[in-house]
A and B are shown apart, each in its own frame.
Chain A
Amino acid sequence: MANAVKLSPTGDRQKALISRLEKEAGTSINLCYQCGKCTAGCPAAFAMDYPPRQVIRLLQLGFVDEALNAESVWICASCETCSSRCPRGVDIAALMDAVRREALAQNRITDKKVAAFNKAFLNGVKWFGRTYEAGLTLQYNTATKQFTKDSELGLPMYLKGKLGILPERIKGRDAVRKIFERSQEKGGE
């Protein structure tokens, strides 16, 4: 067997991780027969390295690290077109979500900007209980070093009364902060 070619890298670690992702997404990748309907309907597939069908294929073959490193995980807009059209009932969007969260937990962030946006968004919620749009833009622009991004929108928004300078703070900020802490403690699942 000296010339044997190993097609799949699946070891116990990969297997366990894939089944955990499936459980978190509440779906089964083995249902997929690779028809490609998800990719055909995906509005962001044009920009992806591995479109949805291929992400599923990577997972079916045990290439979980490749799936976690895929840029497409961060490009997916969670529009759920794939899940609603899948003839086999695979919840691809939920799977993408699970892979994205795992990649975040393992700090394998192929697209830093999307992750920076999510972080800035949630920071506002954690601190004030509500989205702080002005603070979100400022935090995001600073984190991604795009200091003038969307500056053409800021002033008109402010003048139209669509952008508060100060955050809206709710009374139950403590309760919200605890929700963040406990969710994190429990590892998200």
Chain B
Amino acid sequence: MKLAYYPGCSLDGSGLEYGLSTRRTAAILGIELEEIEDWNCCGATSGHNTNKLLSLALPARNLAIAEKSGLDILAPCAACYNRFRTTEHAMRHDRKLKEKIEAIIEMPYDARQETVSIPDLLANKIGLEKIREKVVNSLAGMKAACYYGCLLVRPREHTGFDDTEEPQSMDQVIQALGAQAIDWPYKTECCGASLATSRPDVGTKMIYEVLLNAQAAGAECIVTACPLCMMNLDMRQKAAERAYKTKFNIPIYYITQLVAIACGDAPKTVGIDKHFVEAGKYLDTVKIRAAEAKAAAEKAAQEAAAKAKAKGAGAKEKAVKTGGAADEPDPKKVAGFVAALTKNPDKMAAKLVADPAQAGVLASILDDKRIGKLAHLMAKDMELAQKAAAAFVQQELKRQGECQD
């Protein structure tokens, strides 16, 4: 895969680690990045706060240069991504506006390509399977809150690769790396962006709320794909702690840093030492946890194998004694139960589930698949069949509950 690359101003400055780790992630996953020649600033929020044409023409110059290559564009910064998507949308849907913009930038631009974000690229364009294949240092034991903020997923008409309220792409990516994605309510809340500079009385509270909610949900770190969110949550975490007389000490990571590290990079290669809130120690903790989890899993697998072997030997003896296969039930018996379950579902359900109301539920959901499964188990072991029946009932009740919600 080859993409035109728009680093944006932050990735050469305050978002240095994002630039480093994006390039590493691309190299690891086999994506070629061709930097847009002589690119200019997208104008960010200050642009659209000031002049609408300016806010579209600044991105359009970059996009028009990129269009000559015929490549889609990767814009890691959420603000650049949002401005690019907004410009593409405007160019495609407003003919008059398109003509004005082309006159301003003195270049033709048809918005034939599209700009992609890092979460979209990783989760959808490359895919989780490919990422999973490359993981050598699992992040098992990491408890991370994925923070999408505003600009990656809103508005839906401009972005559209993930849900605006409950996005999943970053959660899926870090799960593919072995980490645990914490469910939390502040996924798409705003960090306040430049309000932290211009109105700290407003911005600091917004930063504090995000950190507080991540911590309350049990997250031990936050994962972002936006240099502004990083700046606020990492660089200004201390200011938020001071203002609210608390201690968070929550490390913040770019999602690309985690991909590169899980795929074998040393943390320093992707700028973990450049953070304001110390972020290297937690990675060490995760490493130890991952090693422990791996050892425990191996031990459990060994024990299970030994047990199966012993059981297999026992079963063989039994089979010799009874003269039949111990694991497979008698097909005649199974056929008998299938017939009974089909003809008299109510009566048979009552045998499997003690509670009459629940037995009624079971009878109402008996289809061929469930009948086959239950008949098989009943012929083998009545207790197992009862357990399976109870599970079917619970599933159905849960489904009904969700429908009512």
- Chain A residues packing against B (C-beta within 8 Å): 24, 43-44, 46-47, 74-75, 77-81, 83-84, 91, 93, 97-98, 100-101, 104, 111, 113-114, 116-119, 121-122, 124-125, 129-131, 133, 140, 149-150, 153, 156-157, 160-164, 168, 170-172, 175-176, 178-180, 182-184, 186, 188-189
Contact = CB atoms under 8 A, between A and B. Distances in A.
Classify the secondary structure of A's interface with B: helix
Interface stretch (B11-19, B121-129, B361-369): B11-19
Contact of B13 (A24, A119, A164): A164
A104 B154 contact: no
10 contacts: A44-B190, A47-B199, A77-B192, A77-B194, A78-B45, A84-B155, A119-B50, A131-B41, A157-B235, A168-B12
Chain B interface size, under 10 / 10 to 19 / 20 to 34 / 35 or more = 35 or more
Nearest to A122: B46
Contact of A122 (B15, B50, B190): B50
A133 B51 contact: no
A77 B40 contact: no
Contacts of A113: 198-199
Contacts of B150: 77-81
Given A118-B50, A188-B54, A44 B197 contact: no
B329 interface: no
B154 A83 contact: yes
B48 interface: yes
B156 A179 contact: no
A75 B195 contact: yes
B392 interface: no
B12 A78 contact: no
Contact of A189 (B41, B53, B105): B53
B100 interface: yes
Nearest to A120: B46
Contacts of B16: 160-162
Contacts of B155: 80, 83-84, 91, 93
Contact of A186 (B40, B53, B206, B236): B53
Residue picked from B57, B156, B205, most chain A C-beta under 10 Å:
B57
Contacts of A81: 150, 154, 188-190
Interface in B1-59: 9-10, 12-16, 38-41, 43-54, 57-58
Given A161-B274, A176-B61, A118 B49 contact: yes
Nearest to B9: A131
A179 B109 CA distance: 15
A179 B154 contact: no
A81 B194 CA distance: 17
B195 A179 contact: no
A47 B202 contact: yes
Residue picked from A77, A149, A184, most chain B C-beta under 10 Å:
A77
Interface in B333-390: none
B275 to A, nearest CB: 8
B57 A43 contact: no
A84 B159 CA distance: 12
A80 B164 CA distance: 10
A78 B41 contact: no
Interface string B78-110: 000000000000000000000010011110000
Nearest to B202: A47
B393 to A, nearest CB: 37
Contacts of B53: 182-183, 186, 188-189
B13 A163 contact: yes
Given A125-B40, A157-B14, A101 B105 contact: no
Contacts of B106: 175, 178
A113 B274 CA distance: 29
Contact of B14 (A100, A133, A171): A133
A153 B234 CA distance: 11
B166 interface: no
B330 interface: no
B124 to A, nearest CB: 20
Contact of A84 (B10, B154, B201): B154
A44 B276 contact: no
A162 B206 CA distance: 24
B197 A186 contact: no
B155 to A, nearest CB: 5
A168 B7 CA distance: 13
